[in-house]
Structure 1
Amino acid sequence: MPKRLVNYRNKGKGLIVASASDTGSGATLTASARAIFRLLALQGSATRPQLGQSLGLSRPTMSAAMSELERIGYVDRVGEVQGALGRKAAMYRVGTAAGHVIAVDAGSTHIRLRVSTIDCRLLHSRVYRLPSSQLMLGAEISAAVADEVAAAMAVAQADWGPLRALGIALPSRVVGPGEDTVATRQDELFSRFAPPQGAPLILENNVNCAAVAEHVYGAAQETATFAYVQVGLKIGMGLMLEGRLLRGRNGAAGEIGHLAFPLAGDARPEPGEIERYMGTEALMRRVRDGWPAGEGDAPADTSDLLARAESGSGAAQAAVTRHAEDIGAIVASCVAVVDPGIVVLGGGVGGHPRLAPRVEEVANRLSYPVEVRTSTLGSDATVLGIEKLVVDRALEGLVGELRA
């Protein structure tokens, strides 16, 4: 993933530390050493002159600060580069002693895990497909998370340094300590999984994490206000407003699966009905029920449906277009409430580029102007987002709170 100098600040209480522990001893560092370490963590490797110029530090200050960081192993020298005047400059990056983090996307269909350094260099990754799709967080997801985290810790190398924090993105609402964690079901994570001792555990909603990743790395870079809408087995939305991730009083901001639906004639809305209607299982039932005999067997799943639409199947194209129109109506409802200006579509179905033009057309017809983009991160969005959040937490412990 390309490095960008982005200091995403975690604001709000939805992101929680479920197991309190300090991640380092940054309080003994000087302000200059802290600033250098933060910059290396955020933008990757750099030379002393580059760091000094970026931070406005003199050569003596740089020398003293780098000595501090080298002494405790927070920076490593990784080579030299040729300078403009013929001199070689040493290149530095975040050191082994700064440690590593584990980021987990505990999804409804897959468990994705990344182990990375504090400057987001990938050390190890795993993807595990669940035996069956899980509409709710429960024992099967918990057991898979336990297995995947244990497997990652079992292959840890000495040059990874200590584990500084663990972050898990959940397919559920997330609230802070002391609030109604029974209603969110987030405690179901611990039915089979016991967090490792000695490192903070960070929990966040999976769609919120995907929004963070699109903001930092993906389709919404340089965009302070936007909505990320995920459409797949389930639906959800993450909201970034003026650079802040919006979570809401109950951790329910963006829970579009609870929009009132249906709204027609004598129909009465049912809780969560729109998510059941929009989810892939209901979509494929509608496709199979209406599939014309002349086009052979109905598609086996959404991947097959989308592939047939791309290859020219009229029935598949009609089904995908109708689904895009339904998504467009949901997006229009969101636009009418929060007016994000930009909506990024992701998820197993929503992230297919064929949908965005029709979604945009319908949303603009029904509501206010909005640009609809397709995720550039695909299935990695959530795990990259929780990785970013857990790295930020680890940095807070190592050198103090990140500053804009």
Structure 2
Amino acid sequence: MKVLVVGGGGREHALVWKISQSPKVTKVYCAPGNAGMAQIAECVAISVEDIDGLLTFAQQEGIDMTVVGPEAPLTMGLADKFRVAGLKVFGPSRQAAELEGSKVMAKELMSKYNIPTAKYAKFTDAGSAIEYIKETGAPCVVKADGLAAGKGVVVARDEETAINAVRMMMEDKAFGQAGDMIIIEECLEGEEVSILAFTDGKTVVPMVSSQDHKRVFDNDEGPNTGGMGAYSPAPVYTDELHRQVMEKILKPTVQGMAQEGRLYEGVLYAGLMITKDGPKVLEFNVRFGDPETQAVLTRLDSDLVEIMEAVIDKRLHEVNIRWKPEAAVCVVLAAGGYPGSYKKGDPITGLDDAAREAIVFHAGTGLQDGRIVTSGGRVLGVTALGPSIPAAIENAYKAVGKIHFDNMHYRKDIGQKALRHL
């Protein structure tokens, strides 16, 4: 079969890498792809938001299954258009994708179905939001309602930071229309865990746990990014917590979405905070996480294409999903200046040497005069397996040491939180 993967980042490279291992697959295309994906798939220059262009390509090429990486095309209704055209697509409908597309909608769903999350208030004007902050105080979390590429969340330790965040989102329009409505919520304390699950709208099958590292600098300092690294499994996530998450969060969310007429199929990503009162939802995403996917998929021992087909055909209950016992660690190599402005076009060296130690997933890379160069903020996701988390950390950083580009920046502490539990 022919598979089209929509997207051009590290998550999509991991998807292409895993999909291409399936004996069912004869050819993989990616749109728009990147320099790493081009080594194992055919890249086509179609933007992820060009829904009509993607549909035309899929029809002309006789694509058997389309897998959507990023959230934007899902919230724009890509899956609906493909289904109407009779094409198989892995990813939720536009209505279901609102779970990530609107923080307010997600909060209202959780409130209605008693899914544990932080207390919140929503606002459509800056004045009343600032008034609320002055009344309730800090710390608090300010979130843009719409999509902001993982950057529309400010954890404010003091009132001044919170008020500045409101002004940035609502008055300065830092995230455009995404900040027309905001929510302010209580700041949950604890340790974060990412739980991704396959679901066909009825059956929910969770993947192995992972933990993302959102802040740009070591010790969780600096601004939020799209994610600077991840590891799997997360030792903080015990069997008892897993039982609670299944019964109180994942199953009620999928059932609640079905009751709301928003049947959910694809991957459901729950970003959780493990608080002293148990697990609570920080956010839902409607697709594979980035960089969690790089760590989680390297541990998958089953055929990903078979799982995706079972989701599409509403027979997920028939599939037995197997995982490798090894741990995985992904370290993101970013361009200097990220998540702010950064330079592009710097040559990258050492990739072949690093590939002997780890799997190097490309995120923001391009080809220039036959050389691989930087073309994004997050450039590479160096991912290694090991018999334990400390071994996987060592293997990943050994590979990182072989790669170089100008002003390369990465966190030195990916996976350290896990060691506290071991």
How high is the TM-score relative to the length of structure 1?
Answer: 0.28
| Structure with higher helix content | 1
The answer to which structure, 1 or 2, has the higher relative contact order (CA under 8 A, 6+ apart) is 1
Q: Per residue, is there more strand in 1 or in 2?
A: 2
